[in-house]
Chains A and B, each alone.
Chain A
Amino acid sequence: MESQNPNQTTDADDAFVRFRRVTYAPPGVSAPIIDALDLEVRRGETLVLLGESGCGKTTTLRLVNRMLEPTAGEVLVEGRDTRAWDAIELRRRTGYVIQDAGLFPHFTVGRNVALVPTLEGWEEGRVSGRVEELLRLVGLDPGKFAGRFPSELSGGQRQRVGVARALAADPPLLLMDEPFGALDPLTRSTIQREFAALQRRLDKTVIFVTHDVREALFVATRVALMRAGRIVLLDTPEAFLRSEEPHARAYRETVALPKDL
């Protein structure tokens, strides 16, 4: 990517997102939700945050695009503290996909996908061209789907539109919060495969939250296993499968179990 700070170390150059001793402990909560977290997300990788509900995965994600701000430590995106970023600018160059897609029910599919380009003031022809391109990219026929409303789509189709919307302005960074969590198993595995293929083509930096270990191992460049606001293991899927870390083993066993049946 273009503008890089010459004062940054090579190590930092490689990190698209970096957490430095980040704590998130809002007032009135007994234990911090994120506890002195250190994390580096490398340019172009898909980092999966894996863990049980409440372990702080989603909070970690929200700290990246400044939906939340750390109570201690700092989160750097492209070498710059999120608090130094203009929140709106930061979010417009950060794609975001959530579990139930969060499509605007009063917008057509086309308008949903066009949201960020429109906000960014692209001219109309360029926007509609981009919408077509993206709908094709996620496997939806633009002529058939652009004019439909979200209520007229299946869950899988909605999620594809959600991904298209997140990619619309070609953001270098993509945040995905259990994006396929609400889909039935068949749709889910199809869309996971397609996403993995897409990711190889697009070369985005992706932070992907899930509690599904199969999904994590399937899409991840590296897996970060989270527990109580900390990362207990951070490694490649292959290393994760060999790890003797007790929680990693526990997760592994949930995957292995069906093979005994």
Chain B
Amino acid sequence: MNAFEFMLRNWREVMGLTAEHLLLVAVSTLIAVAVGIPVGLLLTRKANLKRPVLAVANVLQTVPSLALFGFIIPLKYVGGIGWRAAVVALVLYALLPVIRNTVTGVEGVERSVREAALAMGMTDRQILRQVELPLAAPVILAGVRVATVISVGVATIAAAIGAGGLGTLIFRGLRQYDNRLILAGAIPAALLALAADAGIGLIESRLAARRRAATKANVVVRQVVLAALAVLILAGAGFAVWSRSAKADVRVGSKDFTESVILAEIYAQALEARGLTVERRYELGGNLAHDALVAGEVDVYPEYTGTSLMSILKHPPATDARAVYELVKSDYAARFDVEVGPPLGFEDTFAVLVRGEDARRLDLKNISDLTAHAPRMRAGFGQDFMSRPDGYEGFSRAYGLQFRGRPREMDLSLSYRALAEGQVDVIAGNSTDGMIATLGLTQLEDDRHYFPPYEAVLLLRRDTLERLTPAREVLQRLDGSISTEEMRRLNYEVDGNKRPAAEVVREWLRSRGL
């Protein structure tokens, strides 16, 4: 099945995500235009503001998009996760071209024309509306065009903060080592960018043509209004598609990897089987799932006790699974009013992985076997592993590992790919990862018991549990229901056999009579 067949078979999801994408771009571009043009005009009137404002807009443009999302998330009112934060970030990116082209366009009006307008006794407002804006319109529109195309690109990153859009497919594809998914996201995004570019280009040329036949200055203004209306209508259509699932009984979140999506989907489908409506807000990166849970933007998501212990509650690493579970449970209840469900039955701890052929050739079984070979091996670790308290630093100390050069810091899903392709020799993956089998990797035993327990659990808001009785019932039914082998198999079905998570989960639930 190639990328096009995949898109055809999943056209409903691709269309839905395209609509989300379009809505993000349309809304943020409209806001950027509504803000950027007046700001640009103001700058042409207040010369001393021009440099500082353009400098700020320039700096905003150079902030990498993921970093900008990172800055926005903790902000009150504008920040958070999901749609709103994504729009804020996109607006910030789109502002510079709009402001700069407005300034350039207005300043590009011939001096003699402005002089004549002034000498004829036109007021500043009349000069602006009848002379400067119409004459600057093509340049301003070119700025809007650039802003729109930038937005289409940047909006793919918005998936990382749960804002949906075509980036969802791209990120999923990266994680699952699946080029079809990446293309299924990237091709529509590229088409959108081309369509936006051509569409606004068309308005530009119509505007130029109209000028020849123009009888009133308002024609240009009317054109811009018409264009804005067209975008709004498109946005409305997009919104209609997007908001189908707006009002749901339960909003289920997941982190941004296959296993988390599978666990979330298990819970979601079990609830749906009991007649509840579910909104899925999957694939939230970093600690976004936690932030969303606490903020009440999702009601439940799967988590691991070790992650909760250290990343969220900031306790030091501990090794006793029972003690860790109890501590996490009582802390969540006290601090977040969140219930920690019973352990689902498996652990997903860090798996130190090497290529199978290397393991056989060098006779590697335990992590301590690595110590001697490490200076000739290159390591590549996810950002998560590099920064967390039970991650790289303590790990390399515990085993006395000294790799060749500094470990390369890369996206977790990319690190699997890098290992398989021989660009690095050691990575830290997840013990239940389906990719381990898919790519023929060998997991080395944690023989010094360095890594803390990572029992899979579901975290639920207490108010949701009280509101919905089936929520608790399902939680009890899932207690200890998934073994490590089973989880690895489910992961493999999705990552290795490239099957949709929803389908894999449906089979599993049926086989379990859930």
Residues of chain A having any CB pair with chain B under 8 Å: 65, 67, 87-92, 94, 96, 98-108, 111, 115-116, 119, 149, 165, 175
Whether the Cβ atoms of A106 and B120 lie closer than 8 Å is no
Whether the Cβ atoms of B115 and A98 lie closer than 8 Å is yes
Whether the Cβ atoms of B112 and A116 lie closer than 8 Å is no
Pick the interface stretch among B7-15, B210-218, B406-414.
Answer: B210-218
A96 and B120 in contact (CB under 8 A), knowing A106-B134, A106-B214?
yes
Task: Show 30 residue pairs from A and B whose CB-CB distance is below 8 angstroms, ordered by the A residue.
Answer: A65-B119, A91-B118, A91-B119, A91-B120, A92-B121, A94-B119, A96-B116, A96-B119, A96-B120, A98-B112, A98-B115, A98-B116, A99-B112, A102-B115, A102-B117, A105-B113, A105-B135, A106-B134, A106-B135, A106-B211, A106-B214, A106-B217, A108-B214, A111-B215, A115-B120, A115-B122, A116-B120, A116-B121, A119-B121, A149-B212
Question: C-beta contact mask, B117-147 vs A, less than 8 Å → 1, else 0?
Answer: 1111111001000110011000000000000
Q: Would you give the shortest CB distance from A116 to chain B, in whole angstroms?
A: 6
A-side contacts of B214, CB under 8 Å: 106, 108
A-B CB proximity, top 7 nearest: A102-B116, A91-B121, A92-B121, A96-B119, A102-B112, A100-B112, A88-B121
A-side contacts of B121, CB under 8 Å: 87-92, 94, 116, 119
A119 and B122 in contact (CB under 8 A), knowing A105-B135, A106-B211?
yes
Known A88-B123, A103-B116; 16 more pairs at CB < 8 Å: A67-B118, A88-B122, A90-B121, A91-B118, A96-B116, A96-B119, A98-B119, A101-B112, A101-B116, A102-B112, A102-B117, A106-B217, A106-B220, A107-B217, A108-B215, A119-B126
B-side contacts of A100, CB under 8 Å: 112
Whether the Cβ atoms of A104 and B113 lie closer than 8 Å is yes
Q: Would you give the shortest CB distance from A97 to chain B, in whole angstroms?
A: 9
CA distance A101 to B122 in the complex (A): 16
B-side contacts of A115, CB under 8 Å: 120, 122
CA distance A149 to B131 in the complex (A): 15
Looking at chain B's contact residues, the main secondary structure is helix
Complex partner residue of A102 from B113, B123, B134, B215, CB under 8 angstroms: B113
Give A168's nearest chain B residue, CB to CB: B120
Residues of chain B having any CB pair with chain A under 8 Å: 110, 112-113, 115-123, 126, 130-131, 134-135, 211-212, 214-215, 217, 220
A-side contacts of B120, CB under 8 Å: 91-92, 96, 115-116, 119, 165
Chain B CB within 10 Å, residue with most, of A96, A116, A165, A175: A96
Q: Would you give the shortest CB distance from A205 to chain B, in whole angstroms?
A: 16
A-side contacts of B211, CB under 8 Å: 106
CA distance A149 to B113 in the complex (A): 14
A-side contacts of B112, CB under 8 Å: 98-102
Q: Would you give the shortest CB distance from B215 to chain A, in whole angstroms?
A: 8
Q: Would you give the shortest CB distance from B141 to chain A, in whole angstroms?
A: 14
Q: Would you give the shortest CB distance from B90 to chain A, in whole angstroms?
A: 32
Q: Would you give the shortest CB distance from B409 to chain A, in whole angstroms?
A: 55
A-side contacts of B220, CB under 8 Å: 106
Q: Would you give the shortest CB distance from B48 to chain A, in whole angstroms?
A: 16
Q: Would you give the shortest CB distance from B216 to chain A, in whole angstroms?
A: 9
Give B111's nearest chain A residue, CB to CB: A102
B-side contacts of A67, CB under 8 Å: 118-119
Q: Would you give the shortest CB distance from B130 to chain A, in whole angstroms?
A: 8
Give B122's nearest chain A residue, CB to CB: A119
B-side contacts of A105, CB under 8 Å: 110, 113, 135
Chain B CB within 10 Å, residue with most, of A65, A88, A89, A116: A88
B-side contacts of A175, CB under 8 Å: 119
Q: Would you give the shortest CB distance from B60 to chain A, in whole angstroms?
A: 33
Q: Would you give the shortest CB distance from A69 to chain B, in whole angstroms?
A: 14
CA distance A88 to B116 in the complex (A): 13
CA distance A160 to B217 in the complex (A): 23
Q: Would you give the shortest CB distance from A85 to chain B, in whole angstroms?
A: 11
CA distance A105 to B215 in the complex (A): 13
CA distance A130 to B143 in the complex (A): 40
Q: Would you give the shortest CB distance from B133 to chain A, in whole angstroms?
A: 10
A-side contacts of B118, CB under 8 Å: 67, 91
Q: Would you give the shortest CB distance from B20 to chain A, in whole angstroms?
A: 39
CA distance A124 to B84 in the complex (A): 49
